[in-house]
């Protein structure tokens, strides 16, 4: 969409322009925006967009970016103990990818006028969230496999539709991210398969990890539709394309046969194929736990955030040095300082 560009925001009138004229301009901008969204066109950074749309995107992209970088921690926990060099290389590359995803996403958020520093500050002060899944601990090596299979798998289910999100930079970031996420999912599945087919102890380790990660993975899709505050508006704006419950069902339908192929069970006695619906039925989710973890009471909330803050504080002198160096050396060449 290029018909209306920012710069003339339409929200402030020039002196002498009547309120009615301003309102009329605003309405015209909105009509163009709505038409673009309705026609499945992409909204680009210079296009006019409603403030609420912008705010909603910033909130979602920031939360997504934060999840990528906090999500490095539970898996980095096993880099130094990876049981073979091949697994170690795969895990390192995966954790590196997640850092890269963070970079793409913070860049996408920057196109909306928010800097990475600002967003990190909000993460560190607890004003913005990250996915609650990362507030669970990785207790054994098998957790690395379970995260790849289930957590990255759930992330893909969520993110594939985001490749068609109405906001261009976010949609394009998602295309790159999804390619890598599907590799993450496959390596997790493959790591679990090796464990499941391995010794008795390895099999037990895999089963235990799946037992612990299954329900939190289902919670990754967010609260049920009737309790989700953001879904309706996000869908109207085509930021979101499916409801939380639709995506959750899609994930369950994919995961159940995969669990069977892995030779592992899922910890839900109510899980069974429903011929009529053409979907798997599954048992009730413990939303009390979900809200509790979200509020900060998960097993690792404090740990994850303190580790993040610590890394940021420990790195302050490095960032200051880089800035000071850049300033000195740009200055020497006589280039203008921002």
Partner 1 sequence: MSTPDTRETAGPGVETSAITAAALALGDDALVLSHRLGEWAGSAPVLEEEVALANIALDLLGQARILLSLVGDEDELAYLREERSFRNAQLVEQPNGDFAHTIARQLYFSTYQHLLYGQLAAGDGPFAGLAAKAVKEVAYHQDHAEHWTLRLGDGTPESHDRMQRACDTLWRYTGELFQPVDGLDLDHTAMESAWLDSVTAVLTKATLTVPTGPRTGAWAAGAGRQGLHTESFGRMLAEMQHLHRSHPGATW
| Binding residues vs partner 1 (CB under 8 A) | 69, 72-73, 76, 79-89, 92-93, 95-96, 99-100, 102-103, 106, 116, 141, 191, 194-195, 198-199, 201-202, 307, 310-311, 314-322, 324-326, 328-329
Positions touching Fe ion (CB under 5 A) are: 68, 98, 101, 152, 181, 184
In this complex, which beta carbon is closest to partner 1, that of residue 209 or of residue 252? Answer: 209
Structure tokens at 157: 């289910």
Residue 158 token pair: 């969520």
Strands 272-274 and 279-281: antiparallel
Q: Taking CB within 5 to 8 Å according to partner kind, which of Fe ion, partner 1, none is near residue 152? A: Fe ion
Cβ closer to partner 1: 302 or 320? 320
Q: How far is the CB of 60 from partner 1 (least distance, A)?
A: 19
- Closest C-alpha among 211, 206, 196 to residue 266: 211
* Nearer to partner 1 among residue 95 and residue 174 (C-beta): 95
Q: Give which of partner 1, Fe ion, none residue 96 binds (C-beta under 5 to 8 Å, depending on kind).
A: partner 1
Task: Work out how close the CB of 154 gets to partner 1 at its nearest, in angstroms, rounded to a whole number.
Answer: 21
Exposure of 219 by Cβ count < 10 A (0-12 exposed, 13-18 middle, 19+ buried)? Answer: buried
Q: Which does residue 103 touch among partner 1, Fe ion, none (CB within 5 to 8 A, set by kind)?
A: partner 1
Q: Which is nearer to partner 1, 14 or 316 (CB)?
A: 316
Q: How far apart are CA 59 and CA 265, in angstroms?
A: 36
| Cα–Cα distances in angstroms (integers) from residue 323 to residues 110, 307, 317, in the given order | 19, 24, 10
DSSP 35: H
**Smallest gap from residue 108 Cβ to partner 1 (A):** 14
251 touches 218 (CB < 8 A):
yes
CA pair distance 308, 172, nearest whole angstrom: 27
């Amino acid at each position: 969409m290029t018909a209306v560009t920012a710069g003339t925001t339409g929200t402030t009138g020039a002196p002498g322009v009547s309120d009615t004229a301003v309102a009329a301009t605003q309405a015209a901008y909105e009509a163009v925006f709505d038409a673009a969204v309705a026609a499945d066109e992409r909204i680009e950074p210079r296009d006019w967009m409603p403030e609420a749309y912008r705010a909603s995107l910033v909130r979602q992209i920031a939360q997504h970016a934060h999840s990528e970088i906090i999500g490095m921690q539970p898996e980095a926990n096993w880099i130094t103990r990876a049981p073979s060099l091949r697994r170690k290389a795969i895990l390192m590359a995966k954790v590196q990818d997640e850092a890269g995803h963070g970079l793409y996403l913070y860049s996408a958020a920057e196109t909306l006028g928010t800097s990475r520093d600002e967003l990190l500050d909000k993460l560190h002060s607890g004003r913005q969230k990250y996915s609650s899944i990362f507030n669970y601990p990785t207790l054994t090596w098998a957790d690395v496999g379970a995260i790849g299979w289930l957590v990255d798998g759930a992330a893909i289910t969520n993110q594939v539709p985001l490749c068609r999100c109405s906001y261009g930079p976010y949609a394009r970031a998602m295309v790159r991210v999804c390619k890598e996420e599907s590799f993450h999912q496959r390596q997790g599945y493959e790591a679990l398969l090796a464990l499941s087919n391995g010794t008795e102890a390895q099999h037990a380790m895999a089963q235990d990890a799946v037992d612990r990660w299954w329900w939190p993975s289902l919670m990754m899709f967010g609260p049920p539709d009737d309790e989700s505050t953001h879904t309706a508006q996000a869908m109207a704006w085509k930021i979101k394309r499916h409801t939380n419950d639709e995506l959750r069902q899609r994930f369950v339908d994919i995961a159940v046969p995969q669990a069977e192929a892995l030779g592992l069970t899922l910890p839900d006695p109510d899980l069974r194929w429903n011929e009529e619906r053409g979907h798997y039925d599954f048992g009730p989710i413990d939303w009390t736990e979900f809200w509790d973890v979200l509020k900060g009471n998960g097993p690792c909330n404090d740990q994850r955030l303190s580790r993040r803050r610590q890394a940021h504080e420990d790195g302050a002198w490095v960032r200051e040095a880089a800035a000071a160096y850049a300033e000195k050396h740009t200055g020497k060449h006589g280039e203008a300082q921002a």
